[in-house]
Structure 1
Amino acid sequence: MILPASDSEEERTSILVVEDEILVRYVICDYLRDCGFHVIEAGTADEALECLRSHKDVGVVFSDVRMPGSLDGIGLSQRVRLLYPHIPVILTSGHLLPGETDGTPLMTKPYVLGEVAQKIRAILDGGGDSSTSNSEAV
């Protein structure tokens, strides 16, 4: 089930999805676009930092932890916190538990698509999480 965009804020704010597995990235980016978000894609943390330099409208970074390149997702989260402290980061991993991410929120894989969209909306709205009825997992 695709959850419609809740307000025009999502249309002005970009979500930066950082995922090296192309099929996983395709599914989550396509879903978020269907939900009304503007999505920017990156395959590595280095690409993500380049995107952050060139796109001033990024509202949330949604990043895998394990990626090739000079930084993993945790390193990216630390760099974003240092350079762009106003941009929240959500990490995702099938290998870590929430306490293992330096305090950055973690969604474990496989994650439910609707929960990702709701978590992003909650962050953009400055609120907490809400539950979902979506059962599609990635």
Structure 2
Amino acid sequence: MAPLESELIDWTVSADTRAALGPNFVRILGYFREDGTRSVNEIEQAMRAKDPAAMVLAAHKLKGEALQLGALRLSATAETIEMTARTCVEHHETPEEVIELVAALRPMFHETLAILEEDASPLVQQRRPQGFGRLLG
């Protein structure tokens, strides 16, 4: 079985990160869950407060962490929010133009995280073909 199919994940990037981190990958994924949840909350709060400056750092952090794990759609969405918020800060505007992206961010984060966690599961790893297409277990 190939990695779980999804347009949310670049499996090449994810596999490279996983190989580089080795057994630490699961721990880093846990940090991503915690930090990502915090970042999404901060972005949503900043949107409600119409505070683009508060949005910038949280979106920047989410962008980088998602990119490292191969979560390219999440990273690109966070980057758009970040760059738009930066422009809003420079022009003394509020960030209404990204409200739809902010609204889509939480479900996208949860779906992405679920896919990454399922792929990292030892049970999923055991179901992958070994050798000439044989399955373990």
- Higher relative contact order, structure no. (Cα contacts within 8 Å, ≥ 6 residues apart): 2
More strand as a share of residues: 1
Structure whose CA Rg is larger: 2
TM-score by length of 1: 0.24
TM-score by length of 2: 0.25
